[in-house]
Structure 1
Amino acid sequence: MDWLQVVVLAVVQGFTEFLPVSSSAHLILIPALTPWNDQGLAFDVALHLGSLLAVMACFRHQIIAMLQSSLAALRGRGVDTEARLALALVLATLPVCAIGFVLHDLIEGQLRTTPVIAAAMIGFGLLLGYADRGEVGQRDEYRVRGRDIAIIGLAQALALIPGTSRSGITMTAALLLGLGREAAARFSFLLSIPVIILASGMEILTLSRQTAPIDWATLLWGTALAGISAYLCIRLFLAFITRLGMQPFVVYRLILGAWLLWLFYG
């Protein structure tokens, strides 16, 4: 990999991981639409690690509070709002783990195609636009109910389809259930932590079986650039989402989806 490819892939991954535009679709499309070869599993792991470090840095105080409350609850000291939120994140992660395990080969093979990505970009983009129409709800992430957890968890499993966007579909579900824009974004970002940890763990296991040499300098640069980009993205998104809403991302998804269809069928 040359350095231009490292920078482009890392910055694209960092910015799109937490925007409702599908980072996986962009990472699939970049090598498909450029002369660059596929970046490989090791670099994908590095980019996801950078995104994980970024979201944990952004929400470090909330994460520490959830861990402390969860440990206190396990010791029989009662369950407070932080412990309930931690439990909600764990439960909402279960559907994507189960479905991803069962349908792994289908997802990694037949679904990683340009028409599927384009259709998901357009279809789920329209759904996001519908969820964000007019006035949205006002509930925060601490007031999610059992039904909300189940629906958001099942919605997250749809993100296994390339082009859907994990953050996009979970924000869509949260908005439809009555959460505010910032609350939907925060819950989605926190929900990414267990998902990225589990997905990266599986990738590392696969990587450990390979014998090819590893370019550690490239991986470290990719991790750092993806982490910085993702951190800036989260901060900017939370700062402006209440005023901007989701419609700019809906327009982007529709344009990109239509362009991909034109490239494939035109």
Structure 2
Amino acid sequence: MDYLQAVVLGILQGLTEFLPISSSAHLRIFPEWFGWGDPGAAFTAVVQIGTELAVLIFFRHDIWRIATTWLRSLRRPEYRGQLDARMGWFIIIGSLPIVVLGVLLKDVIEKDFRSLWIVGTTLIVGGIVLGIADRVGSTEKTLKQLSLRDALLMGAAQACALIPGVSRSGATLSMGRFLGYERETATRYAFLLAIPAVIGAGVFELKEIPHGDNIYGWGPTIVATVVAGLIGYAAIAWLLRYVTTHSYTPFVVYRIALGALTLLLVATGTIAA
């Protein structure tokens, strides 16, 4: 049964990681609905490695170009003004807030923040913020106009996703829209920005898989991670096409509905917080 649950959770992770609806919230809420119990913060972090591997494969040409140009810029001044070199620094600096806060707040994140009261509330609040940002934000800026200040602000927004329900992509996209970036630009940068944080967190939590709060062993965790990567790859391609011609409104509605339903079920004692 553990392996069947792992496949379901892997599909859930792959479908929700890149959409602004919070994969960590879904991995916390749906197992509770099914009576499986909380899979744990370690399981959630490790399974997310699968979806980030999908990002590495999907954006492999962009990542290789950014990495090589950034490395050249360390030794050769003529490369330092190029967009790819600057993107390397933007991703590094933008990742600092979530890394620092993730280490400092590790115990709180793995225990207190996993309450469904918090998850349901952050789903609703995050949905409202995303809706406002998408409505009032302009679409003037492209990736070429990304600045160090904006990269750091989007990195700070990403750090809010340490609270399940916020959504890493949702928070980054909201800040990007508030700063005036077009949807595709904000989405693409959100994908790249998440790579160091997610893979780092997953590797950091690997030691907790056979212990800690994880209810699954290595086998189911690996299965869920592989499934998440396969589904996640398809989700990336779909989302990038979708945001070129559509708003984030469906995600806003879904977040608010799921958050409200979660709070209702907890309040009535149908599921435990």
In structure 2, C-alpha distance between the alignment counterparts of 1:264 and 1:83, rounded to whole Å: 48
In structure 1, C-alpha distance between the alignment counterparts of 2:38 and 2:261, rounded to whole Å: 21
Letter in 2 for 1:54: A
- Alpha-carbon spacing, 1:27–1:54, altered in 2? closer, same or farther (3 Å): same
- Alpha-carbon spacing, 1:34–1:208, altered in 2? closer, same or farther (3 Å): closer
In structure 1, C-alpha distance between the alignment counterparts of 2:56 and 2:193, rounded to whole Å: 11
> Cα RMSD over matched residues?
2.1
In structure 1, C-alpha distance between the alignment counterparts of 2:11 and 2:58, rounded to whole Å: 17
Q: Are residue 65 (structure 1) and residue 65 (structure 2) matched?
A: yes
C-alpha distance after superposition, 1:182-204 (max 9, x if no partner): 00000000011001121012102
C-alpha distance after superposition, 1:86-131 (max 9, x if no partner): 1101101101111121122122221211111111001110010001
Letter in 2 for 1:34: F
Letter in 2 for 1:225: V
Letter in 2 for 1:180: E
- Alpha-carbon spacing, 1:36–1:208, altered in 2? closer, same or farther (3 Å): closer
- TM superposition shift of 1:42: 6.7
Q: Answer with 163-172 or 109-118: which moved more.
A: 109-118
Give the match's secondary structure for 2:112.
coil
- 4+ residue runs of structure 1 moved beyond 3 angstroms? 37-46, 205-210, 214-220
Structure 2 residue aligned with 1:143: 145
In structure 1, C-alpha distance between the alignment counterparts of 2:143 and 2:100, rounded to whole Å: 24
In structure 1, C-alpha distance between the alignment counterparts of 2:218 and 2:155, rounded to whole Å: 35
State TM-score, norm by structure 2: 0.89
Structure 1 residue aligned with 2:271: none
- The structure 1 residue matched to 2:189, chosen from 183, 187, 190, is 187
Structure 2 residue aligned with 1:15: 15
Gaps of 5+ in 1: none
Q: Answer with 4-13 or 244-253: which moved more.
A: 4-13
Q: Answer with 96-105 or 181-190: which moved more.
A: 96-105
Letter in 2 for 1:63: I
- The structure 2 residue matched to 1:239, chosen from 233, 236, 241, is 241
- Alpha-carbon spacing, 1:185–1:115, altered in 2? closer, same or farther (3 Å): same
State TM-score, norm by structure 1: 0.92
Gaps of 5+ in 2: 269-273
Q: Answer with 229-238 or 37-46: which moved more.
A: 37-46
Q: Would you say how many aligned residue pairs link Structure 1 and Structure 2?
A: 264
- TM superposition shift of 1:208: 7.7
Percent identical: 39
Q: Answer with 100-109 or 88-97: which moved more.
A: 100-109
- TM superposition shift of 1:31: 2.2
Letter in 1 for 2:158: Q
Correspondence list, 1:50-89, <5 A: 50-77=50-77, 78-79=79-80, 80-89=82-91
Structure 2 residue aligned with 1:34: 34
- Alpha-carbon spacing, 1:264–1:51, altered in 2? closer, same or farther (3 Å): same
